[in-house]
Amino acid sequence: MDEPIEIGHRVQRLRAERGLTQKQLAYPAYSAAYVSTLEAGKVRPSETALRFLAGRLDISFEELVTGRPAALATELRLGLTDAQRALATGAADEAADRYRPLLAEAERLGLTAERTEALLGLGDCALESGELTDAVARFEAAERLLEGEPLHRRARPIRGRAVALLLAGELRYACYLLESTIDELNTGGLPDPEALVLLYAAVIGPYIDMGAHARAAHAAELALALAPRVGDPALVAGMHRQVARTFLAEGRPADADASLAKAQAIYRQLRLGADLAHCHWMRGYVQAQNGELRAAEVELRTARDMLAARRAALYTAQVEVELADVLRRLGRYEEAAALLAELLELGDRHGAVHAGGAHRLLGLIAQERGDTDAAEEHYVRALALLERSGASGDLADLCRLLGDLLRQAGRTEAALDAYRTGLGHRAAPGTTTLGPAPAAPTGALRLSR
């Protein structure tokens, strides 16, 4: 709401444009003297008084107190819903092109909620495109705008920032952000299911990379169990968008906003598809660890296809690291090497953990084919990448592989150095140096382990 002097001048201008006297505007609820005092900016009018005056002046309450026509804000929200649809069903770069002008317009109009939504959308676009620095900046800006809001309202930017940090190789901090938020939501007594799905799905990645396989499996189970079940949400959301356009054309912004709120809720559910792809990814990973290679290939291809359909190149390539490992173990070396080459073509944008994983697999393929020089080169490159990330389990395994290779070549001292490095990162399978697991959902949302 603007300051009293600005509202007063606006009332005076609108009254004059309509040819009303102060007495006519005030009748029957107020006096001409009150209107005169208000127009001079000498009193802060109540909401009741402003709603009465807005009705007499035939404008919306929002326009009277802010100077912005209500339709402008509604049109902006409609644009955000269209951008949200583009991100939920299409490519990140196309959605980002929609979000950028909407963010600028929200900033110009001073609309905090719409500005926050645009920042979150741009952050998600940057994540899917692999622009991690930009993603972190967008999510941090959204968090600042949501400061003081309930925790479940801040779950989206927290999750986004944590995922960006994970992809950049900052595993422990990403895990801390996600676990502490999950714990606070669940111990609060009324956890928000959508927020929990986002957070549980996001924490799977750092759990796996840090060797906390039991926690990762449980998080995947919780995310899949909490995921909303809808028939064809895109059709329903599209209907609400079209209804909103009709209401807006009829000069009914409040009804348009109500329809847009329904559409946005559905598009948020559609966004969960990307997170559920990570759960299929986790299932495939666990099956591969148990030697169920054919089943693992099916799950990992499902995850890869779900992400590829969204043109999420970064995540797609990362799933392909796990898929390549399964294909290697099935003896399909050429397919595996082709998948890994696609990941490495992304350069530095994919994060150290997955690049290191790609080089490790290429080293295994080279070693199994008898090319020990190429194997050593890939292992050394993987080691340099993983040492930056804190992926202890991967580092220990890699040092063992490199040590064994060097020992077999008769390079005993170099092999001992590799083994010593690995011992410094050794951790028991399925463990982590993280603290206690976050609290589980309570009440009706509690699931059995």
Q: What is the pLDDT of residues 95-154, one digit of tens each?
A: 999 999 999 999 988 888 899 999 999 999 998 887 889 999 999 999 999 998 889 889
What is the pLDDT, as a whole number, of residue 268? 65
Inform me whether the pLDDT recorded for 200 exceeds 80.
Answer: yes
Task: Return the pLDDT at 227.
Answer: 58
Round to whole Å and give the CA distance between 333 and 292. Answer: 18
97 Cβ neighbours under 8 A, 6+ residues apart: none
Q: Tell me: pLDDT of 229 over 50.
A: no
Q: How far is CA 223 from the centre of its chain?
A: 15
Tens digits of residue pLDDT in 403-418: 999 999 999 999 999 8
Q: How far apart are CA 177 and CA 85, in angstroms?
A: 28
Q: Supply φ then ψ for residue 374, to 5 degrees.
A: -65, -40
Q: CB–CB of 319/281 below 8 Å?
A: yes
On the question of pLDDT at 221 being above 90, the answer is: no
Q: What is the pTM of this model?
A: 0.63
37 near 43, Cβ under 8 Å? yes
**pLDDT number for residue 272:** 58
The model's pLDDT over 308-321, given as tens digits with 9 standing for 90+, comes to 776 666 677 778 88
CA 135, 141, 146, 151 torsion-angle sign: positive
Q: Residue 447: its pLDDT value, please?
A: 42
Residue 38: how many other CB atoms lie within 10 Å: 24
Task: Give the tens place of pLDDT for each residue, 47-87.
Answer: 899 999 999 998 888 788 887 776 777 888 889 988 988 88
Q: How far, CA to CA in Å, does 44 sit from each of 29, 50, 113?
A: 17, 10, 25
Q: How confident is the model at residue 355 (pLDDT cuts 50, 70, 90)?
A: confident
Distance CA 437, CA 207 (A): 11
List b or e across 17-29, with b for residues whose CB sees 16 or more CB atoms inside 10 angstroms.
eeebebeebbeee
Is a pLDDT exceeding 60 seen at residue 434? no
Please name which of 326, 395, 394 lies closest in space to residue 365, comparing C-alpha atoms.
Answer: 326
Q: If pLDDT is split at 50, 70 and 90, which confidence band does 393 have? A: low
Q: What is the pLDDT of residue 443?
A: 52
Q: What is the pLDDT of residue 214?
A: 76
- What is the arithmetic mean of pLDDT over 375-384? 91
Band (pLDDT 50/70/90 cuts) for residue 31 is very high
Rank 274-288, 342-356, 413-427 by mean pLDDT and report only the highest.
Answer: 413-427
Alpha-carbon torsion 24, 30, 31, 32, what sign?
Answer: negative
| Distance from C-alpha of 133 to C-alpha of 353, rounded to nearest angstrom | 17
255-298 residue pLDDT tens = 766 776 777 677 666 665 666 777 787 778 768 877 889 999 99
| pLDDT exceeds cutoff 80 at 347 | no
What count of residues does the chain have? 449
Residues sharing a CB contact under 8 Å with residue 437, sequence separation 6 or more, in sequence order: 179, 215, 218
**How crowded is residue 272: how many other Cβ atoms within 10 Å of its Cβ?**
21
pLDDT at 432: 39
CA distance 354 to 166: 10
**312 vs 23 pLDDT, higher one:** 23
Instruction: Verify cis geometry, omega within 30 degrees of 0, for the bond prior to 436.
Output: no
